[in-house]
Structure 1
Amino acid sequence: MIISLAGCAKNDGSPQQADPDFIPQNTTATFSTEQSPVVVLDEAHYNFHTAIGRYKPFAQVLKSDGYTLKRGKKAFTSDNLAGVDVLVIANALHKDNSRNWDGPYHSALTQAEVDTLKQWVTQGGALLLIADHIPFPRAIAPLVGAFGFEFVNGHVQEVTYSSENNLLQPHGIVTGNKQSERVSKVRTLGGDAFKAPENAISILQLPAGATALVPDKPFAINQDTKKQAIGGWSQGAVLEVGQGRVAVFAEAAMFTSQVYLPTGQKIGFTSVDAEQNEQFLLNVMHWLSGAL
């Protein structure tokens, strides 16, 4: 089993940083300035991925398509969510413990924030929720639980999802609005896995026989580490809730481009079999913003 360290590293001064040379493939904006949906990328919950940090390429892709991207610096309240079309939460934590992921793990959000987000989505909001390997799933467990999702909080090997291996499930996010938006292959670079509620649609469905390693601490893997069967579980699923929409993904590096400074290796959008991940991200955003 290959456990990727692409999504995260053990301290914020790690050699894994946003790819400074990244340029989006996308050259045609879906939205004009007048029609531009407002996307807020949460940075109020000690997020490991931010718009000027490891998710800068993520932000670049969204801007290339005409989205208005804002950095979220405040707690989630109905007032702070007013005027937001899509909220993105990527690898939140309950405190600034970037140098110590050994626990204990607590919710990154207050119960009031969870209740506010559930109501906001039900009334028409759109939420993209990304939680990578342990400890990130535990930090958003109350939020995903409010929508019926259950994460492993472990480590999952890299997976290539394609139409050929039947792991990339049919959905408008896969087909897009036109032939040039069709996606036939998506690669995740480790991360976690989750059970989706019955009314959700799993797009990235793990193969039969897949397992997750569930250590007590991140990366503390040995021959005695607990294994959990996750065949048929998901790394990416979508759900309609009332008038709103939720997209949940269990891997973060798939939606950005990072460089490992000691070697110069590029990880993410430029990884082998991940060449269509950028279009997949755009399709996910189109679905959330109502363009798909």
Structure 2
Amino acid sequence: MPTAIAVTGVDLALPPQDERTLPGAVLPDLDRRPLEQTLVEMQLLLDQHGQVVVVCSRAAPPAVQRRLHTIRSLLESDRIALFTPDLPPLGVAVLARQLRQLASCDLSPGVLASAGRLLTHYIHAGALLGSVAKLDRVPVTLKAHAKSWVPGSQFAVLAHPEPQLVRIGPGATLTGPEFATRMVVAKGQLQSDWVTATLAPSWQVQGLRETPLPADSARWWGTGRIIEFCAYLPDLSVLYQLVTSVRQTSCHWCGLDVIGDLCVFCSASPPSVQEPPAAGRRAITV
């Protein structure tokens, strides 16, 4: 069975991108359900799939993240990878779906898990906000803070890959991807067509779909007056080529094949390489 890709809420399990996209495992209400129930649920996933990659938003309640670490510790399992990318919630959902696409391919669990860190670089995630007064995820100037109190003000914010913030007005835009993407949009309490009518065409996206706003989005962006958006690489062939073009190494701790400098399953980074002592000098051990 392929590696399971799990998310911490049904709102992070986006509909399949193509016929090969595998279903996502949903671990809902981890902070509100009995520990025994969540342990059984995770053990069942391990029995069925061998390894589990849990993708969790950094905006999730701290109790959810503590529960995940507790489950991993109590099961004494190095087959559970906990991945919390530095993305807004909608971006997390998109990345989880990309991993579900790749889970259908011939990638080893370690490579699949570490692919998330690579694919994050190709995601453009942001939002249209009615206020930036409580936004602390992206640098906000005092001038922007002051303008956020003006009735009717709206701000376009790009959180990833490079922070950007502009006040909506004539000619306002955000720097977008330099490659072909599709876009997914999640509307909150803000009423505007700027994302679909202005931003999407300027980014030349090749398709646009709407989805419900993730539950953690208002917490992440500091307001419920929001329209969140995310541009991403949709094609499995492109995702697979990106991942397989990176050199693979074996984790020195758990032995899994990985890409990059960190094993997501055991969190081990490569051992530091010490320079040999200079010629003619004796190495001193302390």
Q: TM-score, normalised by structure 2?
A: 0.33
1 or 2, which has the higher helix percentage?
2
Structure with larger RCO (C-alpha < 8 A, sep 6+): 1
TM-score (norm 1): 0.32
Q: Which has the larger radius of gyration?
A: 2
Per residue, is there more strand in 1 or in 2?
A: 1
